[in-house]
Copies of this chain bind each other. A is one copy, B any other.
Amino acid sequence: MPADPVVDLEPITTEFRQSIAAILETFIRDKEAELASVGGDLAPLFTTARSYVEGGKQLRPAFAYWGWRAAGGSSKRLDAVMTAAAAIELVHASALVHDDVMDGSATRRGRPAAHRWFARLREPAPGKSGPEQGGPGRSDFGQSDFGQSAAILLGDLLLSWSDELLARSTLAPKVLQRGRVYFDKLRTEVVAGQYLDVLAQTSGRSSTSDAMRVLRYKSAKYTVERPLQFGAALAKADQPLLRALSSYGIPLGEAFQLRDDVLGVFGATDVTGKPSGDDIREGKRTLLMARAFDLATSAQIDVLLASFGHRDVDADGIAAVQDVLRETGALDAVETVISELTSAALSALRHAPIGDEEVCAALRVLSDRATSRLV
């Protein structure tokens, strides 16, 4: 990678994060006030909504911001663009809540996942074996059913709210309509990618092409390409720039997800916020695993099968899978792909019609940040 002329540039500043967080908090507080007349028992929806928008990396709003800057967005409209960028974070919060339900995840960013958190609300009081007095609950509708239902509803609420927040942006309707094209694509494509992902999880297929397709729709377009284009469209980007942002965003997004996949197997808990080896327990069908199954001997396949997708696998089981990933060369192969994709993204960036050198520097730093081994 070429030496960076703006080495100390920070593409996601604390001020940026705080600004997005403040927009989201104001919005949620408004909704809470609007629904106050319904009753205090809605409070858990707001508590969990907050917990899913707090502490995120805000990568998507950041890409939207830099896309807007790439298209020469006027700083006079900054507030309006920040509101639009924050709307993507509500889409993401919704996706995370529903993802956690689908994966049966116990935690999110070190806290209980929404469905677990809701389930705890309905824990029988000590000394009681059933629900509160006053009548029967559904005999077959227990704590975990309640937790899951409430989490499905929370995700729906966050998804509806993402539009509402976007519409709050004071950008001119025609400008907003231009951005909405990419906002809509982002929301449809991430669901398509997630569907392909759950399909792969049950189908037992593990082909490289399937894994790359999930990667593209669920991650690369959703995390990088579409947010960049969304922001750029809000500054009336022309087609050559929108295409250049795609040429940069897709390989970068793929590299970013592959790095995340490597961390999901090899990363320490303090880096990932998840138990080490969690992707092995969950049986996540990543390119890394697909390569391993392709390259493994039958003895190595037995090792993989003994742990992959088993919730109760212990530290030794995780370590054995890690060894197979190294020994087969699957890890090296994925690292090579990450390097190639990152190079492709940076090459596209060099040829992109972006005049502002600060924007180019920020996008270079983001590439490095999103794909390096240390993230």
Q: Which A residues have a C-beta under 8 Å from some C-beta of B?
A: 31, 34-35, 38-39, 41-42, 45, 94-95, 98, 101-102, 104, 122, 130-143, 145-146, 148-150, 152-153, 155-157, 159-161, 163-164, 167, 173-174, 177, 180, 184, 187-189, 191-192, 194-196, 198-199, 201-207, 213, 217, 282-283, 285, 290, 293, 304-305, 308-311
Is A195 a contact partner of B101 (Cβ separation < 8 A)?
no
Q: In the complex, which residue of chain B has the Cβ closest to the Cβ of A148?
A: B102
Q: Is the interface of A mostly helix, strand, loop or mixed?
A: helix
Cβ-defined partner of A309 (8 Å) among B140, B149, B177, B194: B140
A141, A150, A152, A187, most chain B CB atoms within 10 A: A152
Taking A192-B35, A217-B38 as contacts, is the C-beta distance between A308 and B136 under 8 angstroms?
A: yes
Is B173 a contact partner of A139 (Cβ separation < 8 A)?
no
Beyond the given A42-B192, A137-B202, A141-B198, could you list 7 further A-B residue pairs with CB under 8 A, ordered by the A residue number? A31-B188, A102-B145, A134-B207, A135-B290, A138-B283, A141-B283, A146-B202
Tell me the minimal C-beta distance from A370 to chain B in angstroms: 23
Q: How far is the CA of A15 from the CA of B206 in the complex (A)?
A: 49
Contacts of A134 in B (CB 8 A): 204-207
Is A187 a contact partner of B207 (Cβ separation < 8 A)?
no
Tell me the minimal C-beta distance from A23 to chain B in angstroms: 17
Is B309 a contact partner of A137 (Cβ separation < 8 A)?
yes
Q: List 22 A-B contacts (CB under 8 A).
A: A35-B189, A42-B196, A98-B156, A102-B145, A131-B204, A132-B205, A133-B204, A135-B290, A137-B201, A137-B202, A137-B203, A138-B201, A139-B310, A140-B311, A145-B202, A146-B201, A146-B202, A150-B198, A153-B194, A156-B156, A156-B191, A160-B184
